[in-house]
Amino acid sequence: MGEYSTRGLHALFGEVNVQSGYFDFDGTLAGTKRDIIEGLQKILSEAGCVVDDDFIAKRTGIGARLLIKEALEENKIPYNDDLIEKIIERLLRTRMNSLKRIRLFDGTVELLDSLYEWIRIALATMSLRKSLYGILKEKKLAKYFEVVIDADDGIKPKPAPETFLKCATKMGLDSKNCVLVGDSVAGIKAAKAAGMKYMAVASGFYIADELIKEDPDLLVDSVNDKETILSVLL
């Protein structure tokens, strides 16, 4: 990972008075890539919509509703809000039926345990609320997050900065003192627009080289790189 795994942390984050760590969920804390792609492919095919896996993978950060709209447009399939909501409901049923299959990445619980008593933690994701809260309950993660922002909060999806800015507002914090941990190109762009530092993890929907092109402040393999992440957030 070149300079991103070796350049000094103090030079990158020394000027930030870190008050909170924000985490993405899919691809950052949990290995949901295959479930998301397969679930969406199944639902989209039922609507006569054909896209490849990469089309879905590279749009996960924008939220399911916008992804579905773009997939339908790609296939020149007319749609309205009712059709989108029917597809979303079908997708939610699929996601809820797969909760027990969701696998947290190695190191997720250990990292959150280490942070919990020392720093305020938030979850900032474009996951659908019903399935997200189902996963948090199933995996006993809800207690760690002071604030959760999700797709149902009705804000512009990444790469717009609103998801992260709303998180900061709800916590009463200056956005520049919050560090984001996520796995997406859209997340890096949103963090820059919000004036926040971004720690990218190459465990999700993008490989390291794709993330590096967007110039994150730091890149690690996964949340299992606990010591590096703690050295930044604490």
Q: CA nearest 145: which of 178, 113, 121, 172?
A: 121
pLDDT score, position 17: 78
Kindly list the domain boundaries of the chain, sorted by start residue: 2-31+102-233, 33-100
Distance separating alpha carbons of residues 60 and 78, to the nearest angstrom:
22
Question: What mean pLDDT do residues 159-182 have?
Answer: 93
* Domain at 2-31+102-233, CATH from 3.40.50.1000, 3.30.499.10, 3.30.300.30, 3.40.50.1100: 3.40.50.1000
- The C-alpha angle 46, 49, 51, rounded to 5 degrees, equals 125
Across the chain, mean pLDDT equals: 90
Output b/e per residue, 22-53; b: 16+ Cβ within 10 A.
bbbbbbbbbbbbebbbebbbebbeebebebee
Determine contact, residues 4/106, Cβ cutoff 8 Å.
no
The values of phi and psi at residue 200, to 5°, are -90, 140
pLDDT-based confidence at residue 13 (cuts at 50, 70, 90):
low
pLDDT score, position 18: 80
pLDDT in tens, 59-73: 888 889 999 999 999
Whether 10 has a pLDDT exceeding 80, the answer reads no
Q: How many CA atoms lie within 13 A of 61 on its CB side?
A: 25
pLDDT-based confidence at residue 84 (cuts at 50, 70, 90):
very high
Amino acid at 67: L
The values of phi and psi at residue 24, to 5°, are -80, 170
CATH topology of domain 33-100: DNA polymerase; domain 1 (1.10.150)
Question: What mean pLDDT do residues 47-61 have?
Answer: 92
The values of phi and psi at residue 213, to 5°, are -60, -25
pLDDT in tens, 175-217: 889 999 999 999 999 999 999 999 999 999 999 999 999 999 9
Helix H, strand E, coil C: the string for 147-168 is EEECHHHCCCCCCCCHHHHHHH
pLDDT score, position 14: 60
Q: In sequence order, which residues have a C-beta less than 8 Å from that of residue 189 and are 6 or more positions away?
A: 158, 159, 214
pLDDT in tens, 95-115: 898 888 899 999 999 999 999
